[in-house]
Amino acid sequence: MLIAVLLGFLFALFLVFVGKFFKGKLAVISALVPLALFIYFASFIPQISKGEVISQTHNWVPSFGVNLGFTLDGLSLLFSLMITGIGFLVFAYTASYLKGHKYLDRFYAYLSVFMGAMLGLVLSDNIISMFVFWELTSISSFFLIGFNNTSEASRKSALTALGITGFGGFSLLAGALLLGNMSGTYNIAEMLTMREALVDHQYYVLAVIFIFGAAFTKSAQFPFHFWLPGAMKAPTPVSTYLHSATMVKAGIYLLMRFTPVLGDTPTWNTTLTIIGAITMLYSAIHTLFRTDLKGVLAYSTISALGILVFLIGLGGQAAFLAAAVFIIVHALYKATLFLVTGIIDHQAGTRDVTQLAGLKKMMMPVFIAGFLAAISSAGIPPSIGFLGKELTYEASIHSTGIIILIAVAIVLTKILLLYAGFVAGIKPFTGKLPEKFSEVKMPGPLMWVPPILLAVLGILFGVFPALIESSLVKPVVTALGVDASDIHLALWHGFNTVLVLSLITIGVGILLYFILKPSVKLENKIGKLEPISPEAILKRISYYFTVLSRFWTNVFQNGYLRNYVTTVILFLVILVGYIFFGNSRLVIDHNQLSEITAYEMVVSVILVLGVFYTVFTKSRLAAVAAMGVVGLAICLLFVFYSAPDLAMTQFSIDTLTVILFVLVLYRLPKYLTLSDYKMRIRDGILSLAFGGLICVLALQVLAEPQNSEIGDFYAKNAYIEAHGRNVVNVILVDFRGTDTLIEISVLAIAAIGVFGLLKLRLKSSDRAN
């Protein structure tokens, strides 16, 4: 499985060198990568359907308990098949949709990285490695959403999505570390065995909040939902891939994966039920007021995600069964509708549903795909959408709590989703064809075959639900910790309350479609509520935070280095002085101090004189020279106390510093008085306070009992374990290797930033500003 996860990354790296060959007719070959992965994961269906769980573990950072552990069960298999199966169709679709685009190879690289990251996320059994892949999905989606980087709207949407999902990533990391601390392991399978201990732990609620934060931001739950409609600025293949079956369902996967570990408690179930209900109804209502096809699909996607969160919150076999089926239902019809919308936009040049009509005459296969997807979205038999709707209703009306209110909310949501599906899948193709669309042509097979395949699968699985019952649905329910042996999927459940609700949904939904037409007037009405929307509120918070940041920056980052140093030193003096006050056990044992020799006294006097000369001289060149004398005096003290390595380091740094100072001085104006008498007195007092504090700190260290255990350990194991004779180097490279790695990473990031600035080519207007 490791190779399967890495294949997407390897293909992206491969495109860096040979990407130019994938910009023409060979572009469709890229689809072979997800196709091969789909076949690979499909080969596990017989084993998984028998209840087997396949696990693989590869050591990564064993000292921290972090490994690349992968688990393939019913839940991860379903998501892996969606990621690779729909990925295959999106890759093929892209070859025609972005044909001739100069950055087509780059687009495929982003898609491949995203696919690999999603596979790593859903297969990870280690929550830390899951977090790594989680962040990779956020980063790769940032590049995909902002692919049209010449558009300000695309760049803004990409940043918004990255900001929201990035916050969720931070929340997931916090939750992962907290769960690791609570359970003593980062492996999810091991956490499952200690569920009772985790639920009864004092930090359980905090851990759940962190997991919810990650899931709600990724899966666009209220009030974090607004990034998803903005992400519709991305090319249609991105919207199809990210927002039907992959990225937005990552949060759903997270909740489902941790339900057996943290679920089945009032905190877990009640929160998910409430947030899911608010999200599904709020977003479904929004679909009534949108005229952009992608906008309609975006809000219907958010609503569908709310339904899934709602079902996970209900818990139990019926709800988990409904969630498993609805994941498949939504992936099939929503991917189809996005692909159909992309075709319309590509061929007709608009997504405005108020202008689109009659395209059936020009694009009959596309109309068939849109019609079948709309039928599945509406839950009309014989589509699998009907089965998913019935199971959702059944889970809702048999749940404990306010049954009537829950039933009303879910039925109203389904009615509005039927309306949205008909608007996106049927309305652009029916009615009289406007004159301006008379020249619209049928796209190539690479564009219309993928939505047809997905739409037909939606009908096929509805007519023959046994195709997915044992192979996909039952294993998912089992992975959620519920017995699935008595589950049987069937299109017909007889005459009952659920059927009545379904008929009401279909009847009212179709009536609403014929009565209410999308219009700019309706869109403007909902626009009047924009000031109180979650997005507007968060934007205002962001604005005031920016104002505060600017004020803070202007006060402390005022361009004077001495003020920066003063602030840092003052803070340290106050903080360390407060800690020492009342806690210091300063006792000087003169018997432990060595005698002061004559040459030590001479060097110390030279050092003190150098300090005073540096402070009081009016010549900058003389001050630099005096600083050099101070540095050399310190080097001699190191030599006196048998530390030649420190002396050589100090000598090298001090010499280089003096040379650089002298070179800089030639570029500076003559000596200027930039501080008055009072400021110099202030700086002198602060310097004495800081120096005295360091002196007290050093004496405090000398007064502490000596413990050579750590030093002895390093000295004993430096050569045995790290094969190095220089203990200091071994500590830096091996024993404290993580610190060194982080420092190297920081330097590398800084170097990339500097390189980017050096390569930056500003327009003349930008230079003027």
Sign, CA dihedral 254-259-260-265, equals positive
pLDDT for 769 equals 46
- 698-707 burial, b at 16+ Cβ within 10 Å, e below that, comes to eeeeeeeeee
* Average pLDDT of the segment spanning 443-452: 92
| pLDDT at residue 402 greater than cutoff 60 | no
Maximum mean pLDDT: which of 128-137, 625-634, 635-644: 128-137
**pLDDT for the residue numbered 651:** 86
Rounded CA gap, 610 and 359, in Å? 87
What percent of the chain has pLDDT above 70? 95
The residue behind tokens 């000398």 is 702
Segment (H or E) for 69: strand 66-72
* 419: pLDDT strictly greater than 50: yes
pLDDT score for 475: 94
Give the chain's largest Cα–Cα span.
106
| Cα–Cα dist 276/221, whole Å | 7
DSSP 132-152: HHHHHHHHHHHHHHT-STT-H
- pLDDT, tens digit, for every residue of 483-532? 888 888 888 777 888 889 999 999 999 999 999 988 888 888 887 888 88
Alpha carbon of residue 511 to chain centroid: 41
Res 765: pLDDT: 45
577, with CB counted inside 10 A (0-12, 13-18, 19+), is: middle
pLDDT over 70 at 157, yes or no? yes
Q: Report CA dihedral (560, 562, 563, 568) to the nearest 10 degrees.
A: 130
Strands (E), 608-655: none
CA-based torsion, 699, 704, 708, 709: positive or negative: negative
Q: Tell me if 420 sits within 8 A of 377, measured CB to CB.
A: yes
Q: For the residues 631-638, what does the mean pLDDT come to?
A: 88
* Residue 633 to residues 335, 477, 515, 610, 617, Cα–Cα distance (Å): 73, 74, 91, 9, 19
Listed in sequence order, the residues at least 6 apart from 406 whose beta carbon sits closer than 8 Å to its beta carbon are 277, 396, 397, 399
Q: Quick one: how far is CA 31 from the chain centroid?
A: 25
The H helix count followed by the E strand count for the chain is 34, 2
Closest by alpha carbon to 640, among 686, 585, 595?
Answer: 595
What is the spatial distance between Cα 160 and Cα 166, in angstroms, rounded to a whole number? 10
Q: Is residue 764 over pLDDT 50?
A: no
Look at residue 137 and tell me whether its pLDDT is greater than 80: yes
How far is the C-alpha of 456 from the C-alpha of 463, rounded, in Å?
A: 11
Binned at pLDDT 50, 70 and 90, residue 710 comes out as confident
Rounded Cα distance, 576 and 17, in Å: 54
Handedness of CA 17, 20, 26, 30 (dihedral sign): positive
What single string gives the DSSP state of each residue in 298-338? HHHHHHHHHHHHHHHHH-SHHHHHHHHHHHHHHHHHHHHHH
pLDDT at position 674 is 65
Q: Does residue 577 or residue 107 have the better pLDDT?
A: 107
Q: Could you tell me how far CA 622 lies from the centroid of its own chain?
A: 54
DSSP 491: S
User: Which residue reads 């030093």 in tokens?
Assistant: 711
pLDDT of 243 above 90: no
Q: In whole angstroms, what is the distance from residue 634 CA to residue 631 CA?
A: 5
Q: Is the pLDDT of residue 92 over 60?
A: yes
- Bridge partners (DSSP) of residue 126 are 187
What global pTM score does this model have? 0.82
Q: What is the DSSP letter of 531?
A: G
pLDDT digits 0-9 by tens, 319-361: 999 999 999 999 999 999 999 999 999 999 899 999 999 999 8
How many Å apart are CA 740 and CA 717, to the nearest integer? Answer: 19
Q: Residues 286-310: what's their mean pLDDT? A: 93
Is the per-residue pLDDT at 763 higher than 70? no
The whole-number pLDDT of residue 399 equals 64
Measured CA to CA in angstroms, residue 402 lies from 245, 262, 274, 407, 499 at distances of 31, 24, 12, 9, 20
Residue 48 has pLDDT above 90, yes or no: yes
Whole-number Å distance between alpha carbons of 768 and 605: 54
Instruction: Evaluate whether 352 touches 519 at the Cβ level (below 8 Å).
Output: no
User: CB neighbours of 217 closer than 8 A, spacing ≥ 6?
Assistant: 164, 165, 167, 168, 171, 224, 251
CA nearest to 144, candidates 36, 212, 243, 52: 243
Q: What φ, ψ does residue 55 adopt, rounded to 5°?
A: -125, 145
CA distances from 392 to 319, 379, 470 (A): 7, 11, 19
* Average pLDDT of the residues in 671-681: 73
Query: Which pLDDT score is estimated for 762?
Result: 55
Instruction: Say what the pLDDT of residue 670 is.
Output: 67
What interhelical angle do 403-425 and 266-286 show, nearest 10?
A: 40
Q: Between the CA of residue 513 and those of 354, 409, 505, what are the distances in Å?
A: 14, 19, 12
- Token pair 């007092």 is found at 685
The end-to-end CA distance of the chain, in Å, is 53
The pair phi, psi for residue 671, each rounded to 5°, is -55, 125
Give the pLDDT mean for 539-562: 83
**Residue 598's pLDDT is what?**
85
